[in-house]
Amino acid sequence: MKKLALLGAGDLGDQIMEYVKETGMYEIVGFFDDNEALGNMHRGLPIFGKINTVENYYKQGDFDYVFITIGYRWFDTRERIYKELKGKVPFANIISPLAVVKKGAKLGEGIMISDQVYVSHTANIEDDVCITLRSVVNHGCVVKKHTFFSTNVVLAGNVTIGEKCFVGVGSVLSDGITVCDNVWLSPGSIVIKNITEPGKYVSNVWLFFNLKIFGWQGLLAPCP
């Protein structure tokens, strides 16, 4: 079995560790984390050191792959680490046996595709992307680098999601929509026109259920 080191010993790292152990995809041998001391133990596994030492450990043969487990609130950090290690250390793909990834789909590296996800045969998922439970990436869709989907996200055909985007739980994007880089979509967002400006967008549906009704001028309103 191939050996895997996780880059980040926070909450997402713990979740990924348990998921990988349950599915038996890799043997996890330890963590790298800039906020933990060398030699500490985390969840029964060693902290090898800071992330800038990853390449040295890889060359020693301590592991075969790495996976970035730093959460979506730190997209810039994820991007920096990925760029620093690209071409030097292999990134693992963690793809659930319960996902449906059609033959012909184009997959990058360092991606996670969780349980009951559907990826069409003409979809393109770029590097360092996480797609969580029961999401749909339909025909002709492109999900660019360092983007994170929450649960039950649905992309209709020919949707493009930019880099370093967060797509909240239950969001639906209509056919042919393009979302630029650095966009944050709240839970329940319904996107029916292109998003061309970076920022946080809050669905009026989400606001309604939180007793904050600001009018129905559009399905999406940018956060202040």
Whole-number pLDDT of residue 100: 97
- Averaged pLDDT of the chain: 90
- Residue 83 near residue 65 (C-beta atoms within 8 A): no
Whole-number pLDDT of residue 213: 39
d(CA 8, CA 19): 15
> Which residue is it, tokens 């990834």?
101
Q: What is the separation of C-alpha 149 from the centre of its chain, rounded to a whole number of angstroms?
A: 6
114-128, 156-170, 195-209: lowest mean pLDDT where? Answer: 195-209
d(CA 197, CA 194): 9
In this structure, the strands spanning 41-42 and 65-68 are: unpaired
pLDDT band at residue 22 using 50, 70 and 90 as cut-offs: confident
Is it the case that residue 75 has pLDDT exceeding 60?
yes
